[in-house]
Structure 1
């Protein structure tokens, strides 16, 4: 009798527990349903109250995070220029593609070389190059430049990398003092970490023997007539609009390292200081490494707008083409010669 009573009580308890679990499960489901309904309602409201980013014509209502109605005159000019560019961008890109296709077709018909292919570029790396001459881009001057000029320096560095990458005999290229503002500016260009280029946070003095270093500067009295394979040629990374004249020459003297200038004065007469952009100096060095003379390298690299006249001795053989336009100072690099 007692056994039967105990079993009945046990069944009632189990049934009660099952009911409680069912109630908990139902309550949990109702809670989840309410939560889902809450977020659905909230998401719907967000969609309804979403900030309008474009007007009825599809033009953006904000420019660089500022409402168009609150833009200054200079910002408004940039905004209008941006709208104009966006309006013609697709058409411009289509024309560029057609032009490229036409150029490739004409080159194929006339057996012209359009430069290295992607496969050739992948094989043409510094480690495989027959050239072991090193060039350093010294970026230790970032504190002397406004952001705009620092941006110009980095753009010139990109051109240097492009020239070296496309060369059949790339030079051993290094960037030193790569930190602070200069590094922050470079980080705007995604993927630079994978470039075939040596980045160093430290100074060139911590990387190369002091006796192998030669700083290129237009103030030096030493004329470089040949490039030596075991030397390291330093190009100062500075766009200064002539406000820091001679700074690279002074730096070389203070550090007790060699200095020199490219021999442009041996072949040409210039009416202004022998100061060129970072990429111009590098390209001259690269052309010489590839087999050209310094004179040929100057002629093929320097733009016609630079006012260079052949020296009297040289002029007996070669005549000038008459294109003499003063070089713009916007990209001048006081660290080069």
Structure 2
């Protein structure tokens, strides 16, 4: 039921954190008829089993490492040792969430039966979205890991959609693929994996590379187009790279209509999964404004644009009033 325990690492803040948990995990009640009291007892048993199986002894550190490197290594070992306990807590928290939802007749999401029928081949949506993973050499290990996590979320979002988009992952044969192999079963995903570049998989006339530097704004999604998202996590180290690639290859490019509806405190560069989710929301019938406001995180500081309108009493038309940026001056 729970993860295999890792052997290396250090103790948590105190031995009480380990010893305070109670019974063995095998005494946990079944999912059916579970109560809150039994769940609390089970939580104690699960965490006790996780904590007792972790070897908190310190491993020998190489003498050649600096103090800063030793500190980072010890911190990583401590995290790896505590990881099984964290995962156990997350699983029990999820079970409690399901229990509360069942008691209050709240539906948390589509059932397994519903998910079986939610496949790309049976979807009414024919919009194609491709993630370009040709940027392996420009990312470090941490950024590669973040990139793969965003791909996982894209798949999860698409899998739970009633009419999923046609989802492609291209240039899938580098470090991102090696990182993805840590997630068992990805080969069975309802995703089109291609080792080749998107330029070799699709016709160039169908491609639209999404980049915030483009002067072309996408007003609607076309079913015969392929919207390419750059699979790059660089924290703005390579500004304008995707736009440059699209220009060099003669590929059509465009940006999401963020500036048409919202004002942002930060740049209009979004993560892979946020761009994917916005497109998915629009294919489900939401307007661009609704999709953007629903998806963009608070840290972006996105607020709806306030526009000034002038209403004419002689007609029912509402006309947009232009906003003057030049101060009025006397002409005398």
Q: TM-score, normalised by structure 1?
A: 0.70
State yes or no: 1:122 paired with 2:92. no
State yes or no: 1:161 paired with 2:158. no
State yes or no: 1:101 paired with 2:96. no
Contact 1:267 1:314 in 2 (8 A): no
**Any gaps of 5 or more consecutive residues in structure 2?**
1-6, 11-51, 64-68, 311-332
Aligned partner of 1:113 in structure 2 is 107
Shift of residue 269, structure 1, vs aligned partner: 1.2
Deviations 1:254-293 (A, max 9, x none): 1111000000100111122101100000000000000000
Describe the shift of the 1:267–1:62 C-alpha distance in structure 2 as closer, same or farther (beyond 3 A).
same
Q: Which residue of 206, 219, 222 maps to 1:228?
A: 222
Deviations 1:143-200 (A, max 9, x none): 1111110111011000000000000010000011111212111111111111000000
Shift of residue 304, structure 1, vs aligned partner: 2.0
Aligned partner of 2:141 in structure 1 is 147
Contact 1:62 1:68 in 2 (8 A): no
State yes or no: 1:60 paired with 2:55. yes
**2 CA distance for matches of 1:158 and 1:223?**
28
Aligned partner of 2:71 in structure 1 is 73
Deviations 1:15-73 (A, max 9, x none): xxxxxxxxxxxxxxxxxxxxxxxxxxxxxxxxxxxxx9999x8652667xx44798922
Contact 1:212 1:232 in 2 (8 A): yes
Shift of residue 103, structure 1, vs aligned partner: 1.9
**1 CA distance for matches of 2:132 and 2:249?**
14
Shift of residue 74, structure 1, vs aligned partner: 2.1
Deviates more, 1:70-79 or 1:264-273: 70-79
Aligned partner of 1:8 in structure 2 is none
Q: Secondary structure at the match of 1:156?
A: helix
Q: Which residue of 228, 251, 255 maps to 1:257?
A: 251
Contact 1:284 1:297 in 2 (8 A): yes
Aligned partner of 1:282 in structure 2 is 276
Give the number of the structure whose alpha-carbon radius of gyration is greater.
1
Describe the shift of the 1:89–1:232 C-alpha distance in structure 2 as closer, same or farther (beyond 3 A).
closer
Describe the shift of the 1:95–1:215 C-alpha distance in structure 2 as closer, same or farther (beyond 3 A).
closer
Q: TM-score, normalised by structure 2?
A: 0.71
**2 CA distance for matches of 1:54 and 1:173?**
40
Shift of residue 310, structure 1, vs aligned partner: 2.1
Contact 1:104 1:114 in 2 (8 A): no
Q: CA RMSD in A?
A: 2.8
* Structure with higher helix content: 1
Q: Secondary structure at the match of 2:299?
A: coil
Q: Which residue of 125, 134, 140 maps to 1:131?
A: 125
**2 CA distance for matches of 1:166 and 1:250?**
34
Shift of residue 224, structure 1, vs aligned partner: 0.4
Q: Which one has more relative contact order, counting CA pairs under 8 Å at least 6 apart? A: 1
Contact 2:8 2:80 in 1 (8 A): no
Shift of residue 102, structure 1, vs aligned partner: 1.2
Contact 1:220 1:260 in 2 (8 A): yes
Shift of residue 83, structure 1, vs aligned partner: 4.6
**1 CA distance for matches of 2:193 and 2:301?**
35
Aligned partner of 1:28 in structure 2 is none
State yes or no: 1:201 paired with 2:199. no
Q: Secondary structure at the match of 2:156?
A: helix
Contact 1:214 1:259 in 2 (8 A): yes
